[in-house]
Structure 1
């Protein structure tokens, strides 16, 4: 098993620069091409801009660190990845479906758009209290979903304001 420390040392010694903010991100410039490698626990996701760099990276990793290629990236941290000649599509449809199931909303009516910007959500001091842990879980899950759904960012942000003392009206808005 390769440790993160050993992998980091190997990448840095082979010309990769470590990210300033994200210490698990490594970038190497080779002429006009680039290799980006992201470490997550024991996995590496990498993406060079040329086939030559792909082959070089795989060769280095398999020879030096006895790592194996699992194949093309299709699913990572709740993100579905589809690659084609036209580009790369990242979606979270599976993650979103799991959220619907997790929060018992399989039979709920679908909304075609996020909460409107004219909706006024208030503190609702006279409302029925709900479990704040459940509410925070819903908000956290939706915040992660904004990675591929920036259209819900505003709505999630408005609902996130009420995590301290959520009421039934807030849960309704989240749903």
Structure 2
């Protein structure tokens, strides 16, 4: 019994809400045929992407949800770009897009149409290493090597963007690239040395 006649009790309200929700679920549930009409068709189409990777023009048909990382690794077999966290936190997948650093795991391949992409495989000039690659060797700036391609690509971008003026600035602008082996002092020294050579 309610102490307030004419008012709806909490229990009555909850029962009514549950009944309405169940009715909506049953009425609103698509039939088996209707569910088939809704499902994969809107996600199964492919998108044609034309881009330049490491100086070579490519045309790929990709699913709209395909990331640049997966297109580069799985479709073009350029496996130097590493898949680390797959959510933009570690920097292992760093590539250059129109000469700017990007985490390729966060970029949809479809959005790169007409763009210029550079991966680690595109830095060296034949047998001659890029100055950043050589500096990483000279300064022992890697240990296990998993993050190295992303570190090098980020370093190339960092130098090109003009953020390699000091060790502290390099550390700040390279902070999006993680090294689980903690080779940060050697990485910063390598970037600083390469910046002096490139400029």
Is the TM value for this pair above 0.5?
no
TM-score range normalised by the length of the shorter chain: under 0.3
Structure with the higher fraction of residues in strand conformation? 1
Structure with the higher fraction of residues in helix conformation? 2
Of the two structures, which has the highest relative contact order with CA contacts closer than 8 Å and spacing of 6 or more?
2
TM-score w.r.t. length of structure 2: 0.21
TM-score w.r.t. length of structure 1: 0.23
